[in-house]
Amino acid sequence: MPESPDYEPVIGLEIHIQLQTETKMFCGCKLEFGAEPNTHTCPVCLGHPGALPMTNEQAVEYAIRVGLALGCEIAPRSIFHRKNYFYPDNPKAYQISQYDIPICSGGRLGDVRIHRAHLEEDAAKLTHVGESGRIHGSDASLVDFNRGGTPLIEIVTEPDIHDPAEAREWLTLLRETIRQLGVSDVNMEEGSLRADGNVSIRPVGSKELGVKTELKNMNSFRFLERGIAAEIERQKAIVASGGRVEQETLHFDPASGSLTSLRSKEEAHDYRYFPEPDLLPLAPSPEHVEEVRASLPELPAERRVRYESELGLSPDAAKLLAYDAALASFYEEAVAAEPDVDPIVVANWVTGELVAASREAGFEHPAETKADAAGVGAVARMVDGKEISRGSGRELLAELVANGGDPAEVSERLGLTSDDGDDLAAIVAAAIEAQPDAAAKVKAGEGKAIGAIIGVVMRETKGRADGGEATRLIREQLGL
């Protein structure tokens, strides 16, 4: 059998996000998740003939915010189209969307280019009730028109992603960015963020795109990651056995890990888009766009760059902190409280010990423990300044996480500050005396033998001694 070439996955994402405006996209109905079904409806969103839509200015402003945050161009003039399809979630038999001229185009977030982002309206919510709701012997579906007409922004990426985990990570960055813009609660369980994954493979080195399939309606980033991974394997297997990938839309079942076809290319819809005659074009003035730009907060991607370039954090630490707004502000508060401590040292405590201690203590988020930012900063300073050992610092932090308090007082109360240099030197001297064989080996150049002496030091200090400092003292006392 000839050697088969290696294949590279190519992934592009399409994300629908509900904008959290007061009212719907084209009518005055209130938006309220979880309301009694069909209580927020009117002739416009129920598609009554002759009812006229009006564009929600707040939704347009939110779309501009999203577009600018993603580095897009905001079109000086864009229009709405009717996307025609027949389904019970849509009483007009068309969705108002944007087609050839979206409000936002081009852009980038992290390592992924944005193709476009456009405004549209959501469909009504269908609930398939099956047996329990059978009508005339058939399974039944219920329609809730409250969701119909909710403003959506659809974000379409370029196919720049090459691995399922990267897709998940990037979606997390996007979600955090949108959340911090304050335009959506981006809650996947409630359906305010929905992601589709487009997947193809191609021989490594090839620049051409392969035939893609589309994974629809994934309701968690983890499932999307797993679904994309399964689809890549499926495509590789097809190609390996001499077959060809067919263009189709797939459903991934996370429970069984299986992929099933929803529709093939032949069944693809022809939406017969045409310009919406009842709505004016969107034409935001350049001044307005600049006002919106000026009002944007610092966003995760920029913050990450600042943490790396100004504070000197590693890319991993910068990402961990910057992509999580609550952790980022906690970290910055800790840094501000301890201007003499290297921000890298503070970052290590926050991303390392604090994250671990809060998980251990069962907190949902490291910024929500009983330890405040200044306290964590103080622990970093005390250990960094050799006031207490690293082990003591860990113990102190665990206590602050569980019960809070003033770091100096707590460390006094726990007796953590007593292991000062002289004491440690004495403990080291005793440990050397207790381990004469190990001491001889270390002197003879057998570096590993030092472990036995350090073991005694740690036992005597209940793990509170600073390992580095203990090693230094042992070598010093052995005349090395």
Residue 107 interacting partner from Zn ion, ligand ADP, none (CB closer than 5 to 8 Å by kind): none
β-pair type (81-84, 94-97): antiparallel
First to last CA, the chain: 63
Residue 10 interacting partner from Zn ion, ligand ADP, none (CB closer than 5 to 8 Å by kind): ligand ADP
The residue range among 67-75, 204-212, 250-258, 429-437 that interacts with ligand ADP, by the rule CB under 6 A, is 204-212
Task: Indicate the angle between helix axes 436-443 and 450-460, nearest 10 degrees.
Answer: 130
- Binding positions for Zn ion, 17-36, rule CB under 5 A: 27, 29
The residue range among 7-15, 42-50, 320-328, 408-416 that interacts with ligand ADP, by the rule CB under 6 A, is 7-15
List the x/- string, 172-201, binding to ligand ADP by CB under 6 A: --------------------------xxx-
CB 61 within 8 A of CB 292: yes
Tell which one of 157, 177, 389, 461 touches ligand ADP (CB under 6 A): 157
Query: Which of 5, 3, 7 lies closest to 231 in space, CA to CA?
Result: 7
Please tell me whether residue 51 binds Zn ion under the rule CB under 5 A: no
Residues 6+ apart with CB under 8 A from 325: 176, 179, 180, 300
Residue 27 interacting partner from ligand ADP, Zn ion, none (CB closer than 5 to 8 Å by kind): Zn ion
The residue range among 40-48, 299-307, 423-431, 435-443 that interacts with Zn ion, by the rule CB under 5 A, is 40-48
What is the sign, positive or negative, of the torsion defined by CA atoms of 44, 45, 49, 54? Answer: positive
Phi first, then psi: give them for residue 358, nearest 5 degrees: -70, -35
CB 103 within 8 A of CB 117: yes
Tell which one of 13, 15, 17, 45 touches Zn ion (CB under 5 A): 45
Please tell me whether residue 158 binds ligand ADP under the rule CB under 6 A: yes
Torsion of CA 283, 287, 288, 293, to 10 degrees: 120
Q: Which is nearer to ligand ADP, 102 or 377 (CB)?
A: 102
Q: Would you state the structure tokens that stand for residue 452, as one six-digit string?
A: 């036995």
Whole-angstrom CA distances from 144 to 90, 127, 305 are 11, 8, 44
Least distance to ligand ADP, CB of residue 176, Å: 20
Please tell me whether residue 259 binds Zn ion under the rule CB under 5 A: no
Q: Which is nearer to ligand ADP, 210 or 227 (CB)?
A: 210
Residues at the contact surface with Zn ion, assessed by CB under 5 A: 27, 29, 42, 44-45
The footprint of ligand ADP (CB under 6 A) covers 10-14, 156-159, 198-200, 209-210, 212
